[in-house]
Structure 1
Amino acid sequence: MFNRFSRRARISTAVLVALGASVASLAHAKDLTISAGIPKAHFWVGQHMDPFATAMEAATPLKFKRFYAGELVAVGRELDALKGGTIDVAAPLLAPYHEGRFALSDVTQLPTIGTNSVLVTKAFQKLMDSTVKIKGDKSFYQYEIADKGIHAWPLGSTAAYALSTTGKVLQSPADLKGLPLRAGSALHTIVLQQLGATPVTMPASQAYEALSRGTVNGLVLSVGDWKSYSFQDLLKYTVTGVALGHWESYLATTDAVWKDLSADERKSWDRIARETALKNAEGIDKQDVEVRQASEKAGGQFVSIDALSPEMRAHIAKASANTWIQWIEQTEKKGHPGKATAKLWASLVQGEGGKVPEGVAEYLK
């Protein structure tokens, strides 16, 4: 009798465990709202948001309700939407459009030499993983991300930002003086000012009309990104060989969403986010080449900085170095650890095989 009772007890326990596991699975088999403020054609959506969500759905019980092109949340409103519960995941959270709220994330937009998307993505992941203290007892991630009540991972970085015009040839510093050029962030404003141009700040999504009407005569943007905004027919002249920075941003969710995930779901999320970013970066580098080749076939002109006059080369080099200095000093004045962040970033970029403009290393010492 005891054995029969014991056997029944074991069976009942097994059933309860199975039911518990089923309930736990159902608890996590819920929809998470994931949103992009930019169109599906953009490489941060079609090549990052969608692959990430699809891979997560295959690896976990999680499901994602997907929204594109700002139909739910506009560019620059992602952080508020996350914290307000409108969305569960921002893909991407475009940090530079959140004025004053991500003071250090612009560091990837500092000019570099010999860098591409894969290199910068690897360096940025290491920056986010770094335990180096940049202010008090806080690392970059703790200072820039964790304090905002969110969890974040890097996207695939853009390819190198280039200086492009609708046709104006840039042969000397005088050709840049007062030239209205679109800037997408505060740091782009700095580099254009240092070059002597007149920055006109606007999102890339608004630049097509401005370029068409002649409100601006060019912009700072990666060549591969032209495809997302149909700039191929408008931009005719581009200076290559110097990276006017790389734009990085985040895949982000809230602490509340993260805590609600199971340990296995978190592990899968972290792994898939990292893998997706690197695949995204590889695709971005490939797209950069493809868009340039298509532009060249259509008559677009790409001129290496090495082919410019010594005066122009020196002008761009000085502007690049001064951009680092001005960004660091402005960031420090606002109470943020600009120099410590820039020093760490420079070391990580160099560790991946990139270079910083002449004079930057000396200043950072």
Structure 2
Amino acid sequence: MKNYLYRLSLLAFVIFLFFPQIAKTQQPIELKWASPYPVGHPSYVMAVEFIDLIHKHTNNKIKISHFPAEQLGKAKDLLIICSQGIADIAQIHITYFAGQLPLNNVAQLPFYITASEGSKIYRTLIARSPEIQQEFAKYGVKALEGHTTMQYEVATIKKPVHRVEDLKGLKLKTAGGMYDKIARRYGIIPVSIAAAETYEAMQRGIVEGCVFNFPSIRSYRLNDHIKYITNGMKCGGYPGAVIFNQKKWEKITPELQQGILKAAEEAGRRWGIYWDEMLVETIKEFSKQGIQIYNIPAQDRTKWDAPLKGIEEEYIKDLEKKNLPGRKVFNDFMKIVNEVIK
């Protein structure tokens, strides 16, 4: 009897000692996802879908808390916020980090049209290019996927744009960097204004319109002011990426890593398709609203593309001045462009 009680006590002690550890291993790993996008923005919607896919492919062994609308930090700080582990995962605007991620900005260049094309090109470049991967690794983060919008268009308040010559002298909100270089080639006067401030800038007459894509114009309600918009220009695509803190990544089991990567692959494919679907919806909506959409005729494509000739050399030279392999990355980019767009 004493022996039985001794064994029972020993078993109880072992359970008491190890149960917290067993329970702990069964608890999901909690991660924080930081996003600059407000609720309802297309990229917010895709973040929610991405998070759901991670939950699905890790069998809920990972639980993600979503912090949209710059709750964990300003958009311009999210690379560092993820690097420091304040957020485990972050959505970043690649263009906001032209100084830190200059090679990645190749995805802005006007060598694709749709978001599906651009997203596949950029996603493939991230997977294949050691230079692109090293740029992220330098900041202690891993890129899970990359995506782009469709090419930007010209939207105006008072003046319709039906010819290349109509663009000359227009003061338009642009996104800076390469977008300004593209705009200047058309004779546009670029005005650097944050997207969130563009509505008021139009209202006050500071700008005559913007260089933006259809869904984003709707997201920021700029269609309240816009009367005319082109369809078919190549004013640059807008790249983004989802990054993961490298130290946190290394603490996750290979099984869970694979689940996250599977979710990233699915979300990455869906991201471009979603933007293209929104383009179709937005064109219909704008047409009903009375906005005049000018579809660039196929026979005029050469004329509209002519100002862009050699734009890649500006990107390459800017990087080579910093002793960065701009030409190699551009050549890798174009190889993928030619694979995707046949």
- TM > 0.5 fold call: yes
Q: CA deviation at 1:34?
A: 1.0
Residue 350 of structure 1: SS of its match in structure 2? helix
What residue in structure 1 maps to residue 117 of structure 2?
A: 119
Query: Which stretch of the first structure deviates more once superposed, 146-155 or 95-104?
Result: 146-155
Matched, 1:141 2:132: yes
Task: Give, in angstroms, the shift of residue 191 of structure 1.
Answer: 0.3
Note the C-alpha offset of 1:290. Answer: 0.4
2:203 corresponds to 1:212: yes
AA paired with 2:114?
N
| 1:184/1:202 contact within 8 Å kept | yes
> Over residues 291-337 of structure 1, what are the superposed CA-to-partner deviations in whole Å (9 max), with x where a residue is unaligned?
111101111122123289x6xx6663232223222222222222222
Query: Once the two structures are aligned, what percentage of the paired residues are identical?
Result: 23
Q: How does 1:1-365 map to 2 (within 5 A)?
A: 22-26=23-27, 29-46=28-45, 48-58=46-56, 59-90=59-90, 92-113=91-112, 115-131=113-129, 139-306=130-297, 316-353=304-341
Deviation at 1:21, TM superposition (A): 5.9
Paired residue type of 1:76: K
Query: Aligned residues, how many?
Result: 330
Residue 155 of structure 2 aligns with an amino acid whose one-letter code is S
Write the letter of the residue equivalent to 1:337. P
TM-score between both structures, scaled by the size of structure 2: 0.87
Q: CA distance change for structure 1 residues 307 and 117 in 2, over 3 Å: closer, same or farther? A: closer
Moved more, 179-188 or 313-322: 313-322
Over the residues paired in the alignment, what is the CA RMSD in angstroms? 2.6
Q: CA deviation at 1:253?
A: 1.4
TM-score w.r.t. length of structure 1: 0.82
Distance in 1 (alpha carbons) for counterparts of 2:286 and 2:163: 24
Query: Where do 5+ consecutive residues of structure 2 fail to align?
Result: 1-7
Q: Distance in 1 between matches of 2:20 and 2:284?
A: 58
Q: Quick check: 2:174–2:190 contact (8 Å CA) kept in 1?
A: yes
Query: Within 2, Cα distance between the matches of 1:85 and 1:122?
Result: 28
1:183-206 CA-partner distances (Å, limit 9, x unpaired): 113110110111111111233222
Is contact 1:112-1:242 (8 Å) kept? no
Distance 1:273 1:251 in 2: 9
CA 1:18–1:127: 2 relative to 1, 3 Å: farther
What is the CA-CA distance between 1:214 and the residue it aligns to? Answer: 1.7
Structure 1 residues 247 and 61 mapped into 2: Cα distance closer, same or farther (>3 Å)? same
Displacement of 1:288: 0.7
Question: What is the CA–CA distance in structure 2 between the aligned matches of 1:111 and 1:99, rounded to whole Å?
Answer: 17
1:362 maps to what in 2? none
3-state DSSP class of the match of 1:169? coil
